[in-house]
Amino acid sequence: MCSCDDYQDLSNQLAVVTGGRSGIGKGVVEQLLIAGANVISADISIEQEYHLVHTHLIETRLDLSQSADVERWLSVVFDKAGVPDIVVNCAGTSTMDYVIDSKLSDWEEVFSINTTGLYLTSKHFAKAMVDAQKPGRIIQIASQAGKNGYRAMGAYCASKHAVLGLTKVMAVELAKDGILVNAVCPGIVETPMKHRERIEGGAIRGMTAEEIYEEDCSQVPLGRTAEVEDVAGVVVFLASKLAAYMTGQAINVTGGMTMH
């Protein structure tokens, strides 16, 4: 009988993670490496096109907001590494404003990364898996904002609702090919983006970042906000054999803040 550790062993698996330099993406990269995977981490902050960090980690430059750069990056990944077994779309951004005060440019920026960029990577990696007859996993980092509405976050909420819709459609379409497509919906996670949101959201609402933090914690039944490891562990689970009968799901990692 295989142990649970055997089922979570990702040795000889190739994983691609967008937004892998910070926040949830960084945590996902670290946990995938611990599970034994070979990881390609892509991020806009990486200067080199394709850089070997160590035996199991490669860093690549990617600007998800530019479709031409996504195409360039995909060619590099396919040419140098082949078709991945696991794709984790972590890259994301947000803007803060009430909808009636918001700017179209902010809306377009959020959607270019959170939705269009994710769509392009998901589409092309899925097609490569199908063409290679290679079963795989596509894991989207969505948000509880894909299930709820939050003040001053219209573009972000709308973009994450779109991610969940795409996840469900791709899960249905790719099931016959053995490609499982799921989403993880984090709650309030302590990342650089969340820290910025507290400052900007506090300014809009007449509150300090500390007051926003206290409000955040008060809304979570478990009494604390999440660390990136809380989310990354669920990603590794979805990438493993333990989740072999799951597809089209949007799994909450919210400390009980969202329960649907």
Q: Domain of 110: which CATH number?
A: 3.40.50.720
What the block records as the tokens of 216 is: 């955040």
For residue 70, give its domain range. Answer: 4-96+103-187+227-252
150 is catalytic: no
Question: Does residue 87 form part of some domain?
Answer: yes
- Closest of 166, 176, 157 to residue 248, by C-alpha: 166
User: Which residue in 150, 156, 213, 245 is the catalytic one?
Assistant: 156
Give all strands (DSSP E) within 68-195, no chain letters.
86-89, 136-141, 179-186
For the chain, what is the domain count? 1
> Does 91 map to a domain?
yes
**CA 126 – CA 9 distance, rounded (Å):** 22
Q: What is the pLDDT along the chain (260 residues), one digit of tens a residue?
A: 555 567 789 999 999 999 999 999 999 999 999 999 999 999 999 999 999 999 999 999 999 999 999 999 999 999 999 999 999 999 999 999 999 999 999 999 999 999 999 999 999 999 999 999 999 999 999 999 999 999 999 999 999 999 999 999 999 999 999 999 999 999 999 999 999 999 999 999 999 999 999 999 999 999 999 999 999 999 999 999 999 999 999 999 999 999 99
Asked if residue 118 belongs to a domain, the reply is yes
Alpha carbons 30 and 257: distance in angstroms, whole number: 26
Q: Is residue 68 part of a domain?
A: yes
